[in-house]
Structure 1
Amino acid sequence: MQTVSSYGVEVRKQNIPIRQTLELYRSAVSCLTEIYEQVWEELEEIPDAKRRFNAAEHLVHTTKKNSARFDFDLRFPKMPSYLRRAAIQHALGSVSSYKTRMDLWTKSGEKTGMPKLVYENHAMPVFYRDVMYREGAEGKEEAYLKLYDGHDWKWFCVRLNHTDMEYLRKNWSGKKASAPILEKRHHKYFLRFSYTEEITLTKTPVKEQIICSVDLGINTDAVCTIMRADGTVLGRKFIDHPSEKDRMYRTLGRIRKFQREHGSAQSRGRWAYTKRLNIELGKKIAGAIVRYAEENYADVIVFEYLEMQGKISGKKKQKLHLWRKRDIQKRCEHQAHRKGMRVSRVCAWNTSRLAYDGSGSVSRDLKNHSLCVFQTGKRYNCDLSASYNIGARYFIRELLKPLPATERSLLEAKVPPVKRRTSSVYADLRELHLQMETLKAA
């Protein structure tokens, strides 16, 4: 399989006309969008995407063998051909999307929510290698970009952030990067490079697999359990970043106080800062999970399946927590695939509510919410018990799936809880493994 990774390198502040180039490119995209909306019926009749693109370019660009219908070349003289083609592609996509949404809206018969074609978009230019972008001398934090200085297109030397370049040399040395895309974040400009890798994921049989089951909790950021198919637990780890969470919760308290005094309309900047803290926390947690799984030679990382549909209800603190869970799973999946590990998800129902030893439902400790009390009176960490159940549900599903129907029915009769996946716990996996060994010996 192919994985695509990207990294943004900050362009350090200096006297280069990036802003003028960006404004010109967006003006070109806006002009082309307006042109193609007028002649879309003519372009729509061309089914082949490449031929449609060529026809669209002939409408705006004059050559020895072609006379353009519109004065695009006069309004944007000497525009590099690769940049012009990128703008054409973006404009065609915008108009095509608008027409499709408009047709769907018309067929639905709705009176409100009419789609609009946005001309003033946030398009970002691509700096194609050799014609728009050139690398600087080896070992130096510099590059050359072709930019518009208000009169003509010229090459400018740009300084790149030292730490970003060190990261690329350390982790991506010898791998070819795609053409960088200009990006603007928090009033800073970045060049985003993309790298494509061919990855072979592990094909270890289920009975020989080692998994890392992960419970993303509230009290503890993540609890990881290394487990074998027979239920043997090889390792456990509690991942927590209390100082980062305290910082984020402190900013939430300040926002609450500010909104009581000034209203919510003026707190956007504070919420943006809090979200950035939340994203950084998610990056740290994801990195720690994948490192622990790699250290223990795990073949699969198992998570709970999070409900992604519908509106997220609850307080903003709860929303931030759910957003972080989604972000952690997404980042873990990408990092795990790069290392050849697979990622799987199981049903989240009752993983924390049921005790891992099969004694039934648990009750939370009122004095310490991270602990729970089993029906036998045993006190145990709730997130650790949940991670056992998550790993057990993965193995129960994967062990039963390839079996013939008669053999599966026989095992389900001997271990009834495995029939209903939402009630399966760690103790059921141990019992299932015992019954499978007995059946095999017979």
Structure 2
Amino acid sequence: MSNRKPIIRTDKWSLNPTAQQRLLLAETVQIYRRLCRHLVGVIYTHWTELGGLSNQQVIPAVERFIHQTAQNPDVKYGSFDKVFHKFPSYYRRAAIAFAVGQVSSFATRYGQWQSGIRSRRDAKPPTLNAKAGCYPVLYKGQCYKLHGYDQVEIKVFTGTDWIWTTVQISGLRERHTVDSNTLLSPSLIFNQQACHLSVPFECHPEKRQPDQDVVAVDLGINTTATVSVVTFDGTVIHREFIHPGRDIDRRDKRLKSVSTRASKTMGKGGKLHKGFCSNSYRKCRNINQQIAHIVSKRIVQIAKEFNAEAIVFENLKGWKATGGRKRSTLRQRFHGWLKSMIRSYTEMKWQEVGGKIVDVIAAYTSKLAYDGSGVVQRDSKNYALAKFASGKRYNCDLNGSQNIAARGILKLTRRNDSEERSSKRSGRSPGSWACLCDLWTSQIAVG
């Protein structure tokens, strides 16, 4: 077992309740939220004495205010036991933990506002939200019982009493099948649109024994992701273009309809009302997430197939598009560039299996030829193609991904000697832009 820091990932287990069970689940969520609202007021009133307590101390301290027992006969707020009669103790403690978090967050933000730490000069003070849309946390054995992975027994509120009801599990993912994963306390998510368990897992990835190769990813707007698998000696053993065109066309078609409706609504001047086409924009955001998941899943699959040591990306944090006129097609494509989302999802998926991500300098990855022949020329009719000084024509994104791989390998192996020299042929500055040919040169030098 690895001693690495555990990683928390969450699965969605879809539930299929009957009509009667839906009413019971709705009652349970409603009474839980009602208790949370009451607790926020109590905790905020006594925050001066509760704020300095640890997580283990604050829950029993709040219980002494509201819950009467043989050891605690005199409580300050005796009405809680009358209003929330027979309220399960583990549900109550989960509600206390949530309410403490709400008050703690407010106290911190309000303190910052009083100190002058504000987003703008005229910022209004934060407010304490006691009506947050929280959902009950279920503790094993006390609030839920699993019967295999087909059924779950949940303690629910009928309006007068608490009973157990068995709900069918209609869909789940695969994290529960991994022996090293630990199932944590799930949350019951129930509203008009959803009915499922949000199940967190503590993942302990095994220590890997990778091969000496990396998966390099060039994120572009012509092709969503161009992948190259390169060994440490500079041999390219796999190339792949990942471009879910059908989903991209669906998104662009919706955005085009928004543009058409906007022109019909306001003409050549005027303003659109707040929330204009909000449903279409929401669907486009969901499609973007789907695209990012498809691309990141395939990248991780390739990394698993080749047992790669790392996945290498360009460091594009803070990068902003400068090309394209306002409202032009090119500017629209830059807005649909999912560079951050794809990288984030890839990192989450890859870390779960014990892999690591490497970021390299983005400058001149596509502009320099991988064979060291110098700066490439872009085709005037097809910008995705590049022409080398030797006359060879090559895909520009593929060229860039191979240079990204070289920089990642040099970073992993700490062979910076080849980066610190400058090349007169390519015109590269010292200490910067390595290319695939640098791996060949260093391999010859070692040999």
Q: Structure 2-normalised TM-score?
A: 0.84
| 1:60-96 C-alpha deviation (Å, 9 max, x unpaired) | 2111121221232222221111111011111111111
Residue 121 of structure 1: SS of its match in structure 2? coil
CA–CA separation in structure 1 for the residues paired with 2:89 and 2:406:
58
CA–CA separation in structure 2 for the residues paired with 1:391 and 1:348:
12
CA–CA separation in structure 2 for the residues paired with 1:435 and 1:185:
65
CA–CA separation in structure 2 for the residues paired with 1:169 and 1:374:
47
Higher helix share: 1
Q: In structure 1, give the amino acid aligned to 2:378.
A: R
Q: 2:32 touches 2:136 (CA, 8 Å); kept in 1?
A: yes
Provide closer, same or farther for how the CA distance between residues 193 and 172 of structure 1 changes in structure 2, counting only shifts above 3 A.
farther
Residue 160 of structure 1: SS of its match in structure 2? strand
Is 1:80 matched up with 2:94? Answer: no
Partner in structure 2 of residue 427 of structure 1: 437
Q: 1:312 touches 1:319 (CA, 8 Å); kept in 2?
A: no
Q: 2:221 touches 2:333 (CA, 8 Å); kept in 1?
A: no
Match of 2:161 among 149, 152, 161: 152
Match of 2:259 among 256, 261, 268: 256
| 1:128-187 C-alpha deviation (Å, 9 max, x unpaired) | 111111123x46x322211112222121222221xx24x449845796522221235881
Q: 2:228 touches 2:402 (CA, 8 Å); kept in 1?
A: yes
Partner in structure 2 of residue 5 of structure 1: 9
| 1:208-254 C-alpha deviation (Å, 9 max, x unpaired) | 62111111222222111111122111111112221121112111112
Q: Summarize the alignment of residues 251-330 of structure 1 with structure 2, pairs less than 5 Å apart.
A: 251-262=254-265, 263=272, 265-307=275-317, 317-318=332-333, 321-322=336-337, 324-330=338-344
Is 1:58 matched up with 2:64? Answer: yes
| 1:259-315 C-alpha deviation (Å, 9 max, x unpaired) | 333446231111111111111111111111111222222221111223159999987
Deviation, 1:7, is: 1.0
CA–CA separation in structure 2 for the residues paired with 1:325 and 1:415:
31
Partner in structure 2 of residue 440 of structure 1: none
Partner in structure 1 of residue 125 of structure 2: 114
CA–CA separation in structure 2 for the residues paired with 1:24 and 1:413:
69
Q: 1:415 touches 1:431 (CA, 8 Å); kept in 2?
A: no
Residue 104 of structure 1: SS of its match in structure 2? helix
Q: 1:286 touches 1:332 (CA, 8 Å); kept in 2?
A: yes
Q: 1:146 touches 1:153 (CA, 8 Å); kept in 2?
A: yes
Partner in structure 2 of residue 200 of structure 1: 206
Residue 18 of structure 2: SS of its match in structure 1? coil
Deviation, 1:387, is: 0.3
Provide closer, same or farther for how the CA distance between residues 24 and 308 of structure 1 changes in structure 2, counting only shifts above 3 A.
farther
Residue 183 of structure 2: SS of its match in structure 1? coil
Q: Summarize the alignment of residues 362-377 of structure 1 with structure 2, pairs less than 5 Å apart.
A: 362-377=376-391
Is 1:132 matched up with 2:143? Answer: yes
Partner in structure 2 of residue 219 of structure 1: 222
| 1:94-146 C-alpha deviation (Å, 9 max, x unpaired) | 1111111111111127542322111110211111111111123x46x322211
Gaps of 5+ in 1: 438-442
Provide closer, same or farther for how the CA distance between residues 112 and 311 of structure 1 changes in structure 2, counting only shifts above 3 A.
farther
Q: 1:26 touches 1:124 (CA, 8 Å); kept in 2?
A: yes
Q: In structure 2, give the amino acid aligned to 1:193.
A: V
What is the root-mean-square deviation of aligned Cα atoms in Å? 3.0
Q: 1:396 touches 1:418 (CA, 8 Å); kept in 2?
A: no
Partner in structure 2 of residue 337 of structure 1: 351
Q: In structure 1, give the amino acid aligned to 2:62.
A: A
Comparing 105-114 and 310-319, the one that deviates more:
310-319
Q: In structure 2, give the amino acid aligned to 1:306.
A: L
CA–CA separation in structure 1 for the residues paired with 2:382 and 2:11:
41
Residue 212 of structure 1: SS of its match in structure 2? strand
Match of 1:43 among 47, 50, 56: 50
Is 1:382 matched up with 2:396? Answer: yes
Is 1:91 matched up with 2:111? Answer: no
Partner in structure 2 of residue 14 of structure 1: 18
Q: In structure 2, give the amino acid aligned to 1:348.
A: A
Deviation, 1:325, is: 2.6
Q: Structure 1-normalised TM-score?
A: 0.85
Partner in structure 1 of residue 152 of structure 2: 143
Q: 1:126 touches 1:182 (CA, 8 Å); kept in 2?
A: yes
Q: In structure 2, give the amino acid aligned to 1:291.
A: Q
Q: In structure 2, give the amino acid aligned to 1:62.
A: Q
Partner in structure 1 of residue 268 of structure 2: none
